[in-house]
Amino acid sequence: AQRVTQPEKLLSVFKGAPVELKCNYSYSGSPELFWYVQYSRQRLQLLLRHISRESIKGFTADLNKGETSFHLKKPFAQEEDSAMYYCALRVGGTYKYIFGTGTRLKVLA
């Protein structure tokens, strides 16, 4: 079955602390994975995709096929990182995306 699991509904960290938002997937093919973010009163938007191997706003995510994970990490959290984060899997050969249930990140001053 195709599935994306985000085990934490809420993650609270202090400003300056490291952040790791967990994402695990179940998919039989070669996965294409993404992180989307929704800041307060803003639209859901793409944060990064694993293919690009990029760092956006200090966030990185590495695909670990052995552990079927795509965790989102940032070494030093900022208050402006507070948002809802969704991990998503694109089903190969289609435009269908499967999203996780989301993790709300709160960065405390």
Partner 1 sequence: DAGVIQSPRHEVTEMGQEVTLRCKPISGHNSLFWYRQTMMRGLELLIYFNNNVPIDDSGMPEDRFSAKMPNASFSTLKIQPSEPRDSAVYFCASTRTGSSEQYFGPGTRLTVT
Binding region for partner 1 (CB under 8 A): 6, 32, 34, 36, 43-46, 49, 51, 86, 90, 94-102
Question: Judged by CB, which is closer to partner 1: 27, or 34?
Answer: 34
Q: Which residues on neighbouring strands pair with residue 105, listed in sequence order?
A: 11, 83
Cβ contact 60:43 at 8 Å: no
CB of 25 to partner 1, least distance (A): 14
CB of 14 to partner 1, least distance (A): 25
CB of 17 to partner 1, least distance (A): 25
Question: Judged by CB, which is closer to partner 1: 90, or 106?
Answer: 90
Cβ contact 54:63 at 8 Å: no
Question: Judged by CB, which is closer to partner 1: 4, or 19?
Answer: 4
Q: Which residues contact 23 (CB under 8 A, 6 or more apart)?
A: 4, 5, 6, 33, 35, 61, 69, 70, 71, 72, 87, 100
CB of 15 to partner 1, least distance (A): 26
| Residue 32: count of CB within 10 angstroms of its CB | 16
